[in-house]
Amino acid sequence: MSAVIPEDRADEVFLFPASSGQRRLWLVDQLLPASPVYNIGWRVGLTGPVDEDALERALGGLVARHEALRTRFAAEDGVPVQVVSAALTVPLRRARVADVEAAVREEVGRPFALHEGPLLRATLVRGEDGPAPDGEGGPAPDAAPARGEDGLTPRPSPPRDENGPVLVLVLHHTVADGWSCAVLFDELAHLYAAEVGGEPADLPELPVQYPDYAVWQLEQVDGGAFEADAAHWRRALHGAPTVLSLPADRARPAAPTGRGAELRATLEVPDGSFARLLAVFQCVLHRVTGQADFLVATPVAARTRPETEGLVGFVANTLPLRATITPGTTLGDVVAAAEAATVAALAHQELPFERLVDLVAPQRTLAHAPLVQVMFAVEPVPPPREAGPVTFAPEAVANGGAKFDLSLTVERAPDGWYARWQYDSELFEPATVANLHAIFATAVHADPGDLVAELPLTGGSPQEHAVEVPRETAADLVIGALARDPDRPAIEGFPPHGGPTRGAPAPAGATPGEAASGVSAPRTPTATSLTRGELDRAANRLAHVLLAAGAAPDRPVALCLDRGPAVLVGLLAAWKAGAGYLPLDPTWPAARLTAMATGSEVPVLVTDGAARATTGPLTGPWTEVDLDTADLGSQPDTPPPAVPQHPDGLAYVIHTSGSTGAPKGVRCTQGGLAALLRAMVELTGLGPDDRLASITTPAFDVSAVEMLAPLITGAALVVLPADDVADGALLRTRIAESRATVVQGGPASWRMVVAAGGVPAHVRLRVSGGEAMTRDLADDLQRDGATLVDGYGPTETTVYSAAGAVAPAPGPVRLGPAVRGTSLHVLDPLMRPVPPGVIGELHIGGAGVARGYHGLPGLTADRFRPDPFGTAPGGRLYASGDLVRRHVDGRLEFLGRADRQLKIRGYRIEPGEVEAVLRSHPDVAQAVVVAWSAHAADVRLVAYAVPADPALPDSELRARVRPHLAANLPEYMLPATVVVLAELPRTGTGKVDRDALPEPVWTTEAVERVEPRDDTERRMALIWREVLSLPADAPLGVHDNFFALGGHSLTATQMLARVRTALAADLPLATLFAAPTIAELCANLQRGPAARGPVPLLDQLDELSDEEVDRLLGTMVDDGDLA
């Protein structure tokens, strides 16, 4: 077909249908106006004498030659059309600036208005100190490229005349692609040379123009010419995951801003074939995401017909290439698969990408591109063009946007290879992308026979190594501190009602020694408070009794006592006797307590009448010491004969739940506890003026910090009544009465206090541990300016392995840093460090690592492993089983338990990752994800969520979180349903009781159909019927959803165009997203334009259902700039 516009009609404009790709980008522009993300920008360095007028005439020749450069867009009945001017002038702007490169970036980042045009800009930029027009210039001398702060060598720019002019060319992607740019540079050089030489240009006539191509493409698609291509893609993409979850530094926003950044660096490439480089990139993605099946996009020119070779226009297409990598896959396997997939894709490259997306019908959202979020390309660096006496040196310029989460273009230049990484700066820090480059740069040197699972993830894998700490014992640290200021209050008991007691009278009949010890009668109506000296003497008396009863080094003394001064006396007495201690909570089942004491081989069990009244008799191979009947007053209050403790000796045994149902006894050391206590005192700044309220049962290891840190620092310990800590209102009251400045509790306890009115202001420091801290709770605990310290650590590594102040910031609360004396390593299954952002299992080393599980040598050997990173002889790492990823700031993000991984429909799923995404939604306070199944063949993922606002209706919360989940998770990780609960069930320890979660009800919600109620709604309903081709007798209610009825992006624009004509109302396309029913649209009309205002689509995404997003956003993805 010949050129479309006759030469004798130069003053007219002509309308043509938009191509498939142009329709997509037009829709994007409607939703994201004034965005430069689809700008294609070039910095063309000009070396030699430049004739500006000749350059402007050459540009005019390009515009006259290519109709795409004379194109803008309009809407006809809501459908985009090309408006092609028969003649159009694109002026060459001139600018003198102080900073040429800044001016280039600014010009490339300036958005276009598609309805105005022209969609090509040309600016000649000179520096203020540069030569005048037509002046002579020469290239600057070569210089060695400097290394950036990230250690990468940036890609050197083409030779530049630093004082010469720069031509900045910017085109919108709707009228050009990468191939087009190469055509433009060739022809611009030819036309300029002809202009300055006074010769005719003599370019061959174009057989077709872009409008011809657009008409042909639409005819081919509608006529079924691409059905063979469609069949191929149906087969190739059947069952493919449509989201690749890259390790982002920040939570994905509900909708993209389009902001991006670019990293360019050198690359050594031993094998530059496309399949090899693609395979290496796929291997890297597999290793850093853990996904075994995923898609990577690659751009293709799609110019399969000779008529299109010289065409300027948006012809490029995007092809999704699938990678499937199993544990035994080698790099050579991936290369062979990549080559086969590429060959097959190229054979079926003409089906427009937007139609291909329709075939797959992925779960879609504005938050990321459908089907593919990562792009890969291999391209030559554009060569310089000789244009008579001037050399044109084009260089691509980033537009400040990102169309994909991540794009890698490997560039081939005469002097070597380079990598150009473009990334979404809302998701990634520059250091993360630099690290990905380092990994890729290492992986390109791998051998074909190397297993993908064993490819090294080098490129900077920072670990937190242990800081050397003194070798000391907790017993010496604590007991030695008691000798200082013996008259200072150490512990204050709390009566059942009222505030803490100080110096309360002893019960009738008590001896002076008993009154001072607070041991023989610690539960009188006014419980005894102890000074540091009294506590020390009471522990001495009990230590003599324990030694006589059989207490021995390296064996624990069981303490079955209610919370209060007696427990503190008992643990100090055990240490003075050379033993450790085993805390037993009297409220736990007697059979469990007996099993714990028996399994720990305790020689002595300490109890009293109150505890025995709860537990009943605990019988076993031990000697029982009853504090109510033991003759403590007759014992000396001086220390027993010295029984030395050792840093590797036993400090305590704490039991954790085991997979078999039997609790495991963890043996923690004196040295580990001493290191922790010093670290926590340093972190919290605990001092003599502080009062610490104790709310934790001694059976949990965090109680050791509560009880012992005050003794070291001289702070007062106030023990709150056990019966009151389970009630939020009472707990808040007791904290207020205690005048505590420091409180430690789990998230469940803190939530109760917040719900009861908030933490009293005198609590300057709030410490949380035992369970993951959520962002909403962290914000609540810091609203009054108080400090929040969040601690993480398994029992096996002595309470806290990582702890730090929580900074107010969006996104999940991160762990860390490591406490002094502790090392934190994020490792892969082969015990190799993984880079920041990559999920791995947390391994913990250092002073806090316990000796192991009592009586379980096999399990100890499995979980406590030799430390390959430490320098201490015999050092070990504890394999925590916790999945984490390290961010570039060094802090860790907790993602859940490795042993909670599920397998659903063949996919391995970590519920913790789904929980983390769900908790990141601002309307969700708490969340847990589990698998439910009616039978083995029907396993479904179920999410349980507690709303941040209890007044939010359940259906509304579900509607808001569904798009958020779809935006951040692949389809196979999406919960089948979201169950809304007022609160999550908890175990006695405050952790989520997954066994108590209610069974989900598998229902669908229906809306009662309401007929149009007034003239406006009836007219709107008629427009909907016309646009959606609904029969007159088909049901249509005012609450029916436009997209659920079959509407999509183009029918939406058509409908709004008819509303504009029939109802004289101009509704933005974004309004339909937020108001997709007849009733809602008509309500918008009645409010009027002033009240209605523009509806920012990106602020409304959380209101959309999955179906709405699916229908409207079928084609929002770019085909790549340089295809």
The runs of H, that is alpha helices, within 294-403 are 331-347, 353-360
Amino acid residing at 342:
T
Q: What is the pLDDT of residue 988?
A: 63
112 and 230 inside one domain: no
495 and 585 inside one domain: yes
- Calculate mean pLDDT across residues 444-470: 79
407 and 485 inside one domain: no
DSSP character at residue 566: H
The confidence band for 964, taking pLDDT boundaries of 50, 70 and 90, is confident
Bridge partner list, 624: 605
Q: What is the pLDDT of residue 607?
A: 96
949 and 1024 inside one domain: no
The runs of H, that is alpha helices, within 694-791 are 702-713, 728-738, 747-755, 775-781
1027 and 929 inside one domain: no
416-425, 898-907, 1111-1120: which is most confident: 416-425
Decide if 320 is inside a domain. yes
Decide if 852 is inside a domain. no
CATH number at residue 685: 3.40.50.12780
- Calculate mean pLDDT across residues 144-151: 44
Decide if 820 is inside a domain. no
The predicted-structure confidence for 670-724, as pLDDT tens digits, reads as follows 999 999 999 999 999 999 999 999 999 899 999 999 999 999 999 999 999 888 8
Q: Do the beta carbons of residue 467 and residue 442 sit within 8 Å?
A: no
Decide if 355 is inside a domain. yes
What domain range is 1083 assigned to?
1015-1112
Decide if 810 is inside a domain. no
Per-residue pLDDT at 20 exceeds 90: yes
Our count of domains for the chain comes to 5
CATH number at residue 1033: 1.10.1200.10
The predicted-structure confidence for 81-103, as pLDDT tens digits, reads as follows 999 999 999 999 999 999 999 99
Question: Quick one: which of 550, 601, 563, 555 has its CA closest to 581?
Answer: 555
The confidence band for 500, taking pLDDT boundaries of 50, 70 and 90, is very low
992 and 1039 inside one domain: no
932 and 996 inside one domain: yes
Q: What is the rounded CA–CA span in Å between residue 766 and residue 788?
A: 5
920 and 988 inside one domain: yes
Which residues have C-beta within 8 Å of that of residue 660, sequence separation ≥ 6? Answer: none
CATH number at residue 961: 3.30.300.30
Per-residue pLDDT at 727 exceeds 50: yes
The residue from 970, 1005, 1040 where one domain ends is 1005
426 and 566 inside one domain: no
The confidence band for 436, taking pLDDT boundaries of 50, 70 and 90, is very high
Q: Nearest 5 degrees, angle CA 678-CA 683-CA 686?
A: 75
Q: What is the pLDDT of residue 523?
A: 32
For 793-913, where are the E strands, in sequence order?
Answer: 802-805, 822-827, 840-846, 852-853, 864-866, 876-886, 892-897, 902-904, 907-909
Per-residue pLDDT at 382 exceeds 80: yes
Least confident of 209-213, 339-343, 721-725, 1012-1016: 721-725
Least confident of 690-694, 938-942, 1114-1118: 1114-1118
CATH number at residue 450: 3.30.559.30
The confidence band for 527, taking pLDDT boundaries of 50, 70 and 90, is very low
Per-residue pLDDT at 962 exceeds 60: yes
CA-atom Rg of the chain in angstroms: 36
The predicted-structure confidence for 1049-1063, as pLDDT tens digits, reads as follows 667 778 888 888 888
541 and 627 inside one domain: yes
Decide if 850 is inside a domain. no
The residue from 156, 186, 212 where one domain ends is 212
523-527, 589-593, 704-708, 975-979: which is most confident: 704-708
From residue 369, alpha-carbon distances to 28, 232, 963 in Å are 11, 22, 13
Q: What is the pLDDT of residue 563?
A: 87
Q: What is the rounded CA–CA span in Å between residue 892 and residue 887?
A: 6
The residue from 212, 244, 263 where one domain ends is 212
Per-residue pLDDT at 406 exceeds 50: yes
3-state secondary structure at position 672 = helix
Record the tokens describing residue 514, joined without a space: 């008993």
Q: What is the rounded CA–CA span in Å between residue 975 and residue 971?
A: 9
Which residues have C-beta within 8 Å of that of residue 235, sequence separation ≥ 6? Answer: none
Per-residue pLDDT at 48 exceeds 50: yes
Q: What is the pLDDT of residue 34?
A: 83
The runs of H, that is alpha helices, within 1013-1077 are 1015-1028, 1049-1062, 1069-1074
Per-residue pLDDT at 141 exceeds 50: no
740 and 791 inside one domain: yes
**Backbone angles phi and psi of 536, in degrees to 5:** -65, -45
- Peptide bond before residue 118 is cis, with ω within 30 degrees of 0: yes
Mean pLDDT score across all residues of the chain:
84
**Long-range contacts (CB closer than 8 Å, 24 or more residues apart) made by 1056-1061:** 1056/78, 1057/75, 1057/77, 1057/78, 1058/77, 1058/78, 1058/1023, 1058/1026, 1058/1027, 1059/1020, 1059/1023
Q: What is the rounded CA–CA span in Å between residue 415 and residue 1109?
A: 47
Q: What is the pLDDT of residue 1111?
A: 38
CATH number at residue 201: 3.30.559.10
383 and 493 inside one domain: no
The confidence band for 310, taking pLDDT boundaries of 50, 70 and 90, is very high
- Calculate mean pLDDT across residues 426-440: 92
Q: Is the dihedral of CA 825, 827, 831, 834 positive or negative?
A: negative
Q: What is the pLDDT of residue 446?
A: 94
Least confident of 451-465, 517-531, 987-1001: 517-531
- Would residue 618 be called left, alpha or beta, if left means φ above 0 and alpha means ψ between -120 and 50 degrees? beta
Decide if 839 is inside a domain. no
Q: What is the rounded CA–CA span in Å between residue 152 and residue 440?
A: 13
Decide if 880 is inside a domain. no
Record the tokens describing residue 293, joined without a space: 């099946």
From residue 745, alpha-carbon distances to 771, 785, 1057 in Å are 10, 18, 59
